[in-house]
């Protein structure tokens, strides 16, 4: 119960990875605001969670919607101490088939959404001199976009550098900002649409020979938001089965 008395927001909470993070935060004693654009799925999921929660449908790429959702969560749960930015929007389109709409959609789902939520929570965290922010990168941040399209890779790079900039800016205020770069996660939108041949091809690139379990991803979140991780900031933690080694 190391997070007893803390309030967390998890975005993209209807996705399998984010939902696993919600569960470990609740297990550790935090109150959790679940945010996702899919209101129906949020409503169905929250009934099965044990702990203090509130579900707020929100398009996180919309700054105005984020401001309203943030105010609603703080009204119910109190000041926010932890933010976990997750998006399950995937893209594998190559340049020739990436139209401007897809480019904008993927960048907005990852980089814009994370910025909007950090913009909302950071002032309060600095004021209270304690906060944890974890940005979850789409694939492609460290491998030049291998096996993903340019939009996905660009979103990963933008979010990685946003993490570094925020970590430096927030450090004097007692707030840590880190990122997780996961490999393919079982049940995620990066895996589910693939056919068997595509899955085998993707799996062949993972040295550990399997996909990441949502619970394994969630344990990385659990560590980075814990009091024990207070001297770690500006880091990208790889949870990828050895796909990228550095």
Instruction: Show which residues are catalytic.
Output: 152
Is residue 48 helix, strand or coil? coil
Pairing between β-strand 236-239 and β-strand 175-182 as defined by DSSP bridges? parallel
DSSP conformation letters of 138-150: PTTTTTTTTTS-H
Structure tokens at 123: 């002032």
Whether the CB-CB separation of 157 and 104 falls below 8 Å is answered with no
Residues in a beta bridge with 185: 212
Q: Which DSSP letter does residue 110 get?
A: I
Residues in a beta bridge with 178: 134
| Biggest distance spanned by C-alpha atoms of the chain | 51
Whether the CB-CB separation of 137 and 144 falls below 8 Å is answered with no
């Amino acid at each position: 119960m190391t997070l007893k008395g803390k309030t967390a927001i998890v975005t993209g909470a209807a996705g399998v990875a984010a939902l696993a993070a919600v569960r470990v935060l609740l297990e550790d004693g935090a109150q959790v605001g679940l945010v996702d654009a899919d209101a129906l799925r949020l409503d169905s999921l929250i009934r099965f969670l044990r702990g203090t929660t509130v579900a707020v449908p929100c398009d996180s790429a919309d700054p105005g919607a984020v401001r309203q959702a943030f105010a609603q969560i703080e009204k119910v749960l109190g000041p926010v101490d932890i933010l976990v930015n997750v998006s399950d929007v995937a893209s594998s389109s190559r340049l020739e088939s990436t139209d401007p709409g897809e480019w904008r959609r993927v960048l907005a789902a990852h980089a814009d959404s994370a910025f909007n939520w950090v913009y909302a929570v950071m002032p309060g965290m600095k004021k209270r001199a304690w906060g944890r922010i974890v940005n979850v990168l789409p694939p492609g941040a460290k491998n030049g976009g291998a096996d993903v399209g340019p939009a996905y890779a660009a979103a990963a790079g933008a979010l990685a550098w946003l993490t570094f900039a925020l970590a430096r800016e927030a450090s004097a205020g007692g707030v840590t900002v880190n990122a997780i770069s996961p490999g393919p996660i079982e049940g995620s939108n990066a895996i589910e649409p693939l056919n068997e041949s595509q899955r085998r091809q993707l799996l062949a690139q993972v040295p550990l020979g399997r996909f990441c379990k949502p619970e394994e991803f969630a344990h990385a979140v659990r560590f980075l938001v814990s009091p024990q991780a207070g001297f770690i900031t500006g880091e990208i933690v790889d949870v990828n089965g050895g796909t990228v080694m550095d």
